[in-house]
Amino acid sequence: MTIAEIAALRHYQNIDDAGCRVFQDSLELVGRRWTGAILLAALRGARRFGEYRAAVTGISDRLLAQRLKELESDGLIERTVIPSSPVQIRYAPTADGQELMSLLQPLVDWSHRRRLAPRGRARTGQAARD
């Protein structure tokens, strides 16, 4: 282990139990099935329920509605009702939702690089060394 790696580990030794619980809650929020895809769809411009459904292939209407409610409750998505005939409902990422996605952008980038790597190289780590 390098000196830099040891120094980085010392930084995390100051995190108490409450800090660990808060971090775990955040990981569980992001790790819920479909949450990442819904947030990505929001950042790509999805606003109405049908646009989310089209952008997140494979999700059921019921689960999409549930996840949008959860993301709204968690303060990551804002729901706006537009009084018209018929009533329109729009969903947009909040500042917290945008910040979360900017923090996850390196993971999104890594996922794309991994997907594009020749088969077998991503798992062995060879693609990262090239």
User: Along the chain (130 residues), what's the average pLDDT of each consecutive run of 10 residues?
Assistant: 69 73 85 91 91 95 96 95 93 93 88 82 51
d(CA 66, CA 64): 5
d(CA 45, CA 119): 32
Neighbours of 129 (CB within 10 A): 7
The pLDDT of residue 69 is: 96
Task: List the beta bridge partners of residue 66.
Answer: none
The pLDDT of residue 27 is: 84
Task: List the beta bridge partners of residue 92.
Answer: 78
Inter-CA distances, 91 with 48, 64, 115, Å:
6, 12, 30
Token pair listed for 87? 């009533």
The pLDDT of residue 127 is: 47
- Beta-strand runs (E) in the chain: 77-82, 88-93
At 23, phi and psi to the nearest 5? -65, -45
At 79, phi and psi to the nearest 5? -105, 130
